[in-house]
Chains A and B, each alone.
Chain A
């Protein structure tokens, strides 16, 4: 049996609610995080991702189930005895200490020799590109810098696992994008397992080796960014990760991974999620960027429909269209503007008759 860096086995967490009743924050979650992996827990607020992270750190104890680090069950082990370190959303730097003292804190608590602490602090600050900042105070530094200090303060202890709780949430968009790539590079360099909590799907896709998508305290899907995006196993995952067209209808037939699907008189062919059965109500998901738009009828006759453009929005890199295929079925389409716009037909006019089409593998039938 392979040993995982972190494993959650049937973990549940219930909190006493405001008026006596119990609130389930995490429901029977099982996750296996591999050694050296950049693993993200992704979901909307209240989905249980932060509580899961806090149970790994030891700030919360599971109501049921067990957390393992490198095969060892953690039980009631308090946070200060766990081989993990955390980067907090608010950074939680000690304001009464210098940056050097902040970064040295963990080493000091572990009783590292004084002669070792200085050089390691220096090295950690160099690693996050803040060399020579030892004497500064947290409040003298920008949000991005504080974020790096928090990272250095955690990594200097060489934890077995680094836990990051939305560490980029407080930064502005441009800085956030920079830090995403920087974090990913840093993780590859140090080779430490990172567990990253975020509600930002783009962030998770950018950085992660694997992602666990969570909602309402449960894990819905665990997979690589490609798996999560290309083969979402539920409507929630397809909706939360990126943009998707959902067409509701009936499954006509299922045959070796493809299904025939009908909605408002239109017939579709698409990949199918296990568990979807013939005759059942289901949802067809198609990504807007996977739909082709043309004036002439496409040669391919599968999933080819005539429609009318009723909305067209130019946003620079792309143009977004909404095309009505039938009285109740319409789709959003995203086309990259790879050639200068100015071609009359597709550029804007609403009411133009067009053809839309997509290969069956671009669509996916999901259980409702």
Chain B
């Protein structure tokens, strides 16, 4: 087959690209166009859209209602809290792993990644057991007499944040690990030698040099967390509304597909802006270094 194609460069390239391109076209671009289309027409009474379609921008307008903007704002707030916690927990962990003997490093990285291979739903339900009224945390606190009745650890924002941090911590650790692993620790000795204590050596030398990893961690955690819906749904028990649960509800009980589509696209546009900003900053960083 490949031999047949030799000498026909455009043909060969086409043959190699076609399956993937077709797949993307059919299962990614086309659905996206459908979503865009649905977001621009009026809703049907029992879900779906009104037939024949009636064109409108109203679905986008609806989003700017104080209620939905509030949900959006609280999603961004939860997203920021989770991301900051992940970065602050992940950086020291990533640092710790890079400083281990190579023999241990792979094992530790494996431990970080193992949760990835477990079903996300199962993990979230397991966490729910930990935080529940008769869960491990409350049982221990009760048994030691530290509290007299179970704490409300579940079905609130706290539970959602715990769940999201748990789920997305590996996404923070891995890029930061990659950055810290490349860092030459002689530079820390050089900084100490020149009179910098550990805090200043970190802030002036190590942090700036490992910043690309921190930024990557930030994007990799923040983007999916803002749009998350399984965790807020299970851990929040319907009491914590995030943009993901809102979208989910539009396609479910609210039966408002056009509105759900509109929110999805707004979220996507915002994520895109964020990612472009990230790559710009990355490009700027590379440029600065090349100078």
Contacts and interface: CB of A to CB of B under 8 A. Distances in A.
B205 interface: yes
A302 B201 CA distance: 66
Given A95-B209, A96-B209, 20 more contacts: A79-B189, A79-B192, A80-B197, A80-B201, A81-B195, A84-B193, A86-B190, A86-B193, A90-B184, A90-B186, A92-B189, A94-B191, A94-B205, A94-B209, A95-B289, A105-B204, A106-B195, A109-B196, A110-B195, A137-B289
B203 to A, nearest CB: 12
Given A139-B289, A140-B291, A157-B195, A59 B189 contact: yes
A79 B201 CA distance: 12
Contacts of A332: none
A105 B197 CA distance: 12
B194 interface: yes
B37 to A, nearest CB: 48
B200 interface: yes
B194 A105 contact: yes
B269 interface: no
Interface of B: 184, 186-187, 189-197, 200-201, 204-205, 208-209, 289, 291
A94 B187 CA distance: 7
Nearest to A163: B193
A80 B193 CA distance: 5
Contacts of A40: none
Contacts of A105: 191, 194, 196, 204
B194 A153 contact: yes
Interface in A101-150: 105-106, 109-110, 137, 139-140
Nearest to A110: B195
A57 interface: yes
27 contacts: A57-B193, A59-B192, A78-B192, A79-B189, A79-B192, A79-B193, A80-B195, A80-B196, A81-B195, A86-B190, A88-B190, A90-B184, A90-B186, A92-B184, A92-B187, A92-B189, A94-B209, A95-B209, A96-B209, A105-B191, A105-B196, A109-B194, A110-B195, A139-B289, A153-B194, A157-B194, A157-B195
A85 interface: yes
Q: Select the residue from A93, A96, A106, A154 with max chain B CB neighbours within 10 A.
A: A96
Q: Interface size bucket, A side?
A: 20 to 34
Which 4 A-B pairs have CB atoms at the shortest separation, nearest pair first? A109-B195, A106-B194, A92-B190, A79-B192
B16 to A, nearest CB: 38
Nearest to A93: B190
A137 B289 CA distance: 8
Contacts of A153: 194
A79 B289 CA distance: 29
Contacts of B289: 95-96, 137, 139
Contacts of B186: 88, 90, 92
Nearest to B103: A18
Nearest to B205: A94
A137 B189 contact: no
Contacts of A140: 291
Contacts of A88: 186, 189-190
Interface of B is mostly: helix
A153 B195 CA distance: 12
Contacts of B194: 80, 85, 105-106, 109, 153-154, 157
Contacts of B191: 94, 105
B98 to A, nearest CB: 18
Nearest to A153: B194
A88 B186 CA distance: 8
B187 to A, nearest CB: 5
B50 to A, nearest CB: 58
A189 B245 CA distance: 73
Contacts of B205: 94, 96
Contacts of B201: 80
Nearest to A98: B291
Contact of A80 (B187, B192, B204): B192
Contacts of A96: 205, 208-209, 289
Given A92-B184, A95-B209, A96-B209, A137 B291 contact: yes
A303 to B, nearest CB: 52
Q: Select the residue from B192, B193, B208 with max chain A CB neighbours within 10 A.
A: B193
A109 B189 contact: no
Nearest to B194: A106
A106 B194 CA distance: 5
A78 B197 CA distance: 9
A316 B162 CA distance: 78
Nearest to B208: A96
Q: Select the residue from A78, A79, A154 with max chain B CB neighbours within 10 A.
A: A79
Contacts of A106: 194-195
Q: Select the residue from B194, B195, B196 with max chain A CB neighbours within 10 A.
A: B194
A80 B204 CA distance: 14
Interface string A145-168: 000000001100100000000000
Contacts of B187: 92, 94
Contacts of B204: 105
B7 to A, nearest CB: 43
Nearest to B193: A86
Contacts of A95: 209, 289
A87 B196 CA distance: 16
Q: Select the residue from A58, A81, A94 with max chain B CB neighbours within 10 A.
A: A94
Nearest to B209: A96
B121 to A, nearest CB: 43
